[in-house]
Chain A
């Protein structure tokens, strides 16, 4: 040893047990353990325990995969569930149309339904529609695009979190060129909703929309209104959407970033000390 080496720590000992030391570090740890037979004994014991654990679990790993866990089986079951759900929605629409009376209204109401029903469960469609409507309303606003501006972001997010009953943090979209302007509280049919507005260097705007939403979790649903695109999804009782006047391919990575941003803030509190 040269005397300039970093002292051996508990993390080195763990890495020694797991065989994850770099060659240089390994030399330092080996030398240290040679001087400390009690610790060397401990490390050897932990290695033995790890090997015993692996051996005790090896049989489970070697078992053939049960048929019910085959991905094809799971996919088929999922399709059947979605179809059953679509039928329920379709039945509800028929009842609604029958009750509406006039032929013209019935045609207009029914027209988009089969397509939507085939593509998406109702809740994500509702979220996308609400988000697109809110986007249309406020994105053109010059004087008051937001209720609380980004200068008071902490206050804004605290307020929106409280009203929606879920911890919300404004996703950081700066790597896509979107800068937070601020946000506002909205009222939609299902209750309170939050809208965050972002702006890029060219003055274009993007909105992130959140409201409570029942329904099964979904992957992304895409909606197009003129030149405006929306991605919406449902996650743990809330519907989320990202809307901007851009195409699907440009919006997708932003929507993914927003999804990951919100998922992190929704993570259950773990850890005890």
Chain B
């Protein structure tokens, strides 16, 4: 195997993978841990990927799955737990919380994981809708409607300074 080609192919994707991982985790160390895990896994499975396919969506899929697995493990429960924990943070009353939510990245954090991932993959990483659908293992139609929903929520959070569409979970 031409390992120089592999090295160049993978390293060219590292800046984008770091950006995606950092947007997901918002933590420098955790993001690079995620990228490292992703690259190690990619190296192990390099011979298994479909060589004719662009490696970018493949790498984003690995990284995103590792991230989701990590969330589930840390929280020890299903993905819906992630949602209500976010909700608790989000519904913090008071001026500080509201001000902070006016930041786009902070607002992005309040979206469900799939919507957040989609906004990043499509809006920032420029994946096609088909590629994003493959990363999330969803039909393209579902991707389009979740993308629309994600954008609507993001707008709403930033306009009102709080995720008013949420029911408070207590």
Residues of A near any B CB (own CB < 8 A)? 10-11, 13-15, 17-18, 20, 42, 45-46, 49-50, 52-54, 56-57, 60-63, 65-66, 68-72, 74-75, 77-78, 217-220, 233, 256, 259-260, 267-268, 270-272
Contacts and interface: CB of A to CB of B under 8 A. Distances in A.
B56 to A, nearest CB: 14
Contacts of B141: 11
Nearest to B68: A268
B43 A60 contact: no
A271 B158 contact: no
B23 interface: yes
A180 to B, nearest CB: 22
Interface in B137-165: 137-138, 141-142, 144-145, 147-148, 151, 154-155, 158
B109 to A, nearest CB: 12
B79 A272 contact: yes
A270 B144 contact: no
Contact of B114 (A11, A256, A271): A271
User: Which 9 residue pairs of A and B lie closest in terms of their CB atoms, listed nearest first?
Assistant: A71-B7, A50-B123, A61-B19, A11-B144, A60-B19, A60-B22, A52-B104, A61-B15, A219-B47
A78 B40 contact: yes
Nearest to A70: B11
| A interface secondary structure, majority | helix
Given A10-B144, A217-B44, 12 more contacts: A11-B141, A17-B151, A49-B104, A54-B124, A57-B19, A71-B39, A71-B43, A72-B7, A74-B36, A75-B3, A268-B69, A270-B137
Interface in B1-56: 3, 6-7, 10-11, 14-16, 18-19, 22-23, 31-32, 35-36, 39-41, 43-48, 50
B138 A271 contact: yes
B80 interface: yes
Nearest to B72: A268
A53 B104 contact: yes
A53 B108 contact: yes
27 contacts: A14-B144, A14-B151, A18-B122, A18-B123, A46-B155, A49-B154, A52-B104, A53-B120, A53-B123, A56-B104, A56-B105, A57-B19, A61-B15, A61-B16, A63-B15, A65-B18, A68-B32, A69-B18, A69-B36, A69-B39, A71-B6, A72-B7, A75-B3, A75-B43, A78-B40, A267-B137, A272-B112
B105 A53 contact: yes
A260 B47 contact: no
A63 to B, nearest CB: 7
B32 A259 contact: no
Contacts of B158: 49
B101 interface: no
B98 interface: no
Contacts of A68: 32, 36
Interface string B109-133: 0001010000110111000110000
Nearest to B122: A18
Nearest to A52: B104
Nearest to B4: A71
A162 to B, nearest CB: 23
